[in-house]
Chains A and B, each alone.
Chain A
Amino acid sequence: SAVISQKPSRDICQRGTSLTIQCQVDSQVTMMFWYRQQPGQSLTLIATANQGSEATYESGFVIDKFPISRPNLTFSTLTVSNMSPEDSSIYLCSVVWWAGYEQYFGPGTRLTVT
């Protein structure tokens, strides 16, 4: 099965700074998504990362705060901008392969903002 990796696996950042999280898949996928999991909570979809075009954001999430890139079919980045302690969460990418509908998740990035 394909491998999904995320970098960094964890980070501690100061408020007001930005962090870019990378998601790499070892084979081409149709769809890539970014989710947020706040402490002790379930997963919430942030956006769909569209290859070669702007991401599609869910209600409550905006591009200025969470800019996303997807330059090709195997890679995407999520930036958490101007961070505050409320942004402390696990951020996960997920992918859907061609002709499939199941989503598989990366290992997640644990972000702590102080």
Chain B
Amino acid sequence: AQTVTQSQPEMSVQEAETVTLSCTYDTSESNYYLFWYKQPPSRQMILVIRQEAYKQQNATENRFSVNFQKAAKSFSLKISDSQLGDTAMYFCAFAPLSNDYKLSFGAGTTVTVRA
């Protein structure tokens, strides 16, 4: 079984600053995908960024980037130039290829961006 751990229940950041969310996972799989999802108060789950385990290069999507450390089973998300609209719950998720892309989610981190 896979477990995903997000050790930071809440994070607060000043607008325009940078915040980093941590995520670790435990698996014996070698082929898998990792994702960060954002859930604002509207409750819509929004895919922020994805990482294929076989790729060494860290994924980047505009202000969002990840630090993927496969050996350490770590997958952190960095939000640069934080904006008020980034205020949301952020979930780290893991999907092994062997399990039909079924997602296992971490507990989530609430990010509040202060004006």
Cβ B102 vs Cβ A110 within 8 A = no
Closest to A107 in B: B44
Cβ B44 vs Cβ A105 within 8 A = yes
Q: What is the CB-to-nearest-CB distance from B10 to chain A, in angstroms, rounded to a whole number?
A: 12
Cβ A45 vs Cβ B103 within 8 A = yes
Query: In B76-115, which residues have CB < 8 Å from any A CB?
Result: 91, 95, 97, 100-108
- Interface size bracket, B side: 20 to 34
Residues of B within 8 A of A94 (CB): 45, 103
Q: What is the CB-to-nearest-CB distance from B48 to chain A, in angstroms, rounded to a whole number?
A: 11
The majority secondary structure among interface residues of chain A is strand
Give the distance in Å from the alpha carbon of A107 to the alpha carbon of B108 in the complex: 18
A23 at the binding interface (Cβ < 8 Å): no
| A/B interface sample: 26 pairs, CB < 8 A | A33-B102, A41-B107, A44-B105, A45-B102, A45-B103, A45-B104, A48-B102, A90-B43, A92-B45, A101-B33, A101-B95, A101-B101, A102-B33, A102-B47, A102-B50, A103-B35, A103-B101, A104-B47, A105-B37, A105-B44, A105-B45, A105-B46, A107-B42, A108-B43, A108-B44, A110-B43
Please name 4 further chain A to chain B contacts, defined as beta carbons within 8 Å, in addition to the given A43-B45, A103-B95, A103-B101, sorted by A numbering.
A41-B107, A94-B45, A101-B95, A105-B46
- Chain B residues with CB under 8 Å of chain A are 33, 35, 37, 42-47, 50, 91, 95, 97, 100-108
